[in-house]
Structure 1
Amino acid sequence: MEEDGNNKPTILVTNDDGIEAPGLLGLVHVLVSTGEFKVLVCAPDEERSAVSHGVIWAHPLSAKLVDIDGATAFAVSGTPADCASLGVSKALFPSVPDLVICGINKGSNSGYHVIYSGTVAGAREAFLNGVPALSISYDWYGGCTKDQLMNVQSAGVNKRNADDFKLAAEVCLPIIRRVMAEIKSQTYPQKCFLNIDLPADLARHKGFKLTKQGTSLIKLGWKQVTSEMQLQERKFGRDSATEATTETSKASQEPLFFFREIRELQFDDDDTDYRFLQEGYITVTPLSALSPAEKDCQTFFEGWLPNLFDHPTSSPML
């Protein structure tokens, strides 16, 4: 474990909601307030949610020093994976951090959603670079989408408080401290990182629960919008009464605009991360860089692939 002159272990914080997000600021505030850690921040300069493990390759990234009390912080023109990679590289900071925490994300990341998640990707990137990592997400919307929550808030009820994230960070301190102790004693496992989800009713959580990744997923489709007004209505979370129409009789030089919309909710009932999160537990799910296929899929292709050339196609491939 690398320590500074005050014998404090170093934690690097990043996220996908952007460097000004309440989840990151709440986490940094709590970490700094303990006096136990040296805190570094390397986070996107704007929101980059749901970018998965994308990286910027074609042009250089900018890193701008910003003021976050108690931490050395940079806003970076990159993805969460970029920020984690840069933060552990010794190119931006003089040493490699002992632990990387990506979060606290505004919204849960369980089941298949970890594939889309920039929060999980930030922790995964640190793991790929040999640095222990946690991704932390908070079911701040209580199972709602962002648009649904905006509709609720516009009615003036059930408003959430950005200070909720300070409580979320405080709740996570025991596992952060325990992980740091295991790192110091060199007993922390090297073949996984942890994905942590906090339940909506955090004040009455049921404790930490070791889980496995499930298959829950919100399936999305597309809806065409036809005017600037509809774009603004969607932006601020209000539904439009105007139905989109498509003119097929003549070509238009105007661009077409589409928004994603929820089509189907797919939730598993097994003993997995999503189920226990909804039951009020803080779920702790070990993840790795790879997601092996189910055993029956492997068995199928073991019998199928060797016989591939015994069944030639009727026409040659071009």
Structure 2
Amino acid sequence: MENTTVISGDKPTVMVTNDDGIEGPGILALVQVLVSTHRYNVLVCAPDSEKSAVSHCITWLHPIAAKKVHINGATVFAVSGSPADCASLGVSKTLFPSIPDLVISGINQGSNCGYHIVYSGTVAGAREAFLNGVPAISISYDWARGKSNINDFTLAAEACLPIINGVLVELRNKTYPQRCFLNVDLPCNVANHKGYKLTKQGKSMIKMGWRQVTSDTEGGKMLSTMVNSTASAESDTSTTPAENLYFAREVRGAQVDEDDNDHCFLQEGYITVTPLGAITNAEIDCHTHLKEWLPKAIWFVVHNTIKNL
């Protein structure tokens, strides 16, 4: 059910980015839903082509291009950089005349849970806004071949409106926490989701390996689950030039948490809401161990160095 809280006064400004590219079905559905509510000024600053799994890479050594494109009801630029580039440019007051109240990165085609958050360009778009002091949400839909369809992105966007509106109300009331951004994942059967669940980042991930291929092998679209959306070519090294070897990634298995966390609740059918910081702190047992280890290690190195002088 949509949040019925009315955001009074001037419309808040929401900026949207993603990593699937400006023509990705997730971002188009999200912008359409945001515009249709008539509650927001909608800006879009997104990559001009797919930038999945680029993590938080940024462009440094050369300029990036921004081209104005048309999406009804929004001010839109397609940018030749990464999701982090787009978020940074969009909140800089260089491309748009003002800083948005909220940045939303998504909707990604594929979930972003556990350790996959490290690889995700979608999450990086939100993280970059957060690093620049702008509240942010990353949104991903757990797309499954044979089960999902294009309309699910619209359902996912509509299901996120309570979260988006709730954040904007908190911002208006100056009660929103400033030390985190939100990572939202929506289940495959989003039309029948079980509700919203506050979760923690887990450790789930797809284990990847490599196989030797020919130079003209083409992979499929890379989902954030690290699984290709189309079958890749068979291994065949017969035409590989002698001076070069070519390798492609392949799935070798999965690491799945058994504890309560983002991935577990997503698979149970919940919309997961996971607060994230700029970086993830080491687990407490690692800190405890290293607190005892560090002075011993330093003493050992210093002691043996002195002995050998």
Give TM-score, length-normalised by structure 1: 0.86
SS of the counterpart of 1:49?
A: coil
2:257 aligned to 246, 268, 277, which one? 268
Pair 1:244–1:23, CA change in 2 (3 A): same
SS of the counterpart of 1:82?
A: helix
1:278 aligned to 263, 267, 280, which one? 267
1:188 alignment counterpart: 176
Per-residue deviation, residues 115-169 of structure 1 (Å, max 9, x unmatched): 000111110111111111000000012xxxxxxx4xxxxxxxx363222211111
1:301 aligned to 276, 290, 302, which one? 290
Pair 1:202–1:298, CA change in 2 (3 A): same
Q: Does 1:27 align with 2:30?
A: yes
Q: Partners in 1 of 2:150 and 2:140 — Cα distance? A: 14
2:3 alignment counterpart: none
1:287 aligned to 258, 276, 299, which one? 276
Whichever residue aligns with residue 11 of structure 2, its letter is: K
Q: Partners in 1 of 2:196 and 2:211 — Cα distance? A: 39
Aligned-pair distance for 1:294? 0.9
Q: Does 1:70 align with 2:59?
A: no
Q: Partners in 1 of 2:22 and 2:49 — Cα distance? A: 7
State whether residues 22 and 163 of structure 1, in contact with CA within 8 Å, keep that contact through their aligned partners in structure 2. Answer: no
What RMSD over aligned residues (CA atoms) do the two structures have, in Å?
Answer: 2.2
Matches within 5 A, 1:140-159: 140-141=143-144, 149=145, 158=146
Aligned-pair distance for 1:242? 5.2
Whichever residue aligns with residue 283 of structure 1, its letter is: T
Q: Does 1:52 align with 2:55?
A: yes
Pair 1:298–1:205, CA change in 2 (3 A): same
Aligned-pair distance for 1:259? 1.1
Q: Partners in 2 of 1:270 and 1:218 — Cα distance? A: 17
Count of aligned pairs: 290
Q: Partners in 1 of 2:25 and 2:33 — Cα distance? A: 12
SS of the counterpart of 1:67?
A: strand
1:215 aligned to 195, 203, 212, which one? 203
1:85 aligned to 88, 112, 130, which one? 88
Q: Does 1:39 align with 2:27?
A: no
SS of the counterpart of 1:50?
A: coil
Q: Partners in 2 of 1:115 and 1:232 — Cα distance? A: 24
Residue ranges of structure 1 left out of the alignment (5+ in a row): 1-5, 142-148, 150-157
Q: Partners in 2 of 1:193 and 1:209 — Cα distance? A: 16
SS of the counterpart of 1:26?
A: helix
Residue ranges of structure 2 left out of the alignment (5+ in a row): 1-8, 222-228
Q: Does 1:237 align with 2:201?
A: no
Q: Partners in 2 of 1:245 and 1:234 — Cα distance? A: 22
1:168 aligned to 143, 156, 160, which one? 156
State whether residues 51 and 82 of structure 2, in contact with CA within 8 Å, keep that contact through their aligned partners in structure 1. Answer: yes
Whichever residue aligns with residue 267 of structure 1, its letter is: V
Q: Partners in 2 of 1:246 and 1:217 — Cα distance? A: 33
Give TM-score, length-normalised by structure 2: 0.88
Q: Does 1:257 align with 2:257?
A: no
Aligned-pair distance for 1:310? 3.3
Q: Does 1:204 align with 2:207?
A: no
Runs of 4+ aligned structure 1 residues displaced above 3 Å come to 232-236, 238-247, 312-316
Aligned-pair distance for 1:309? 3.7
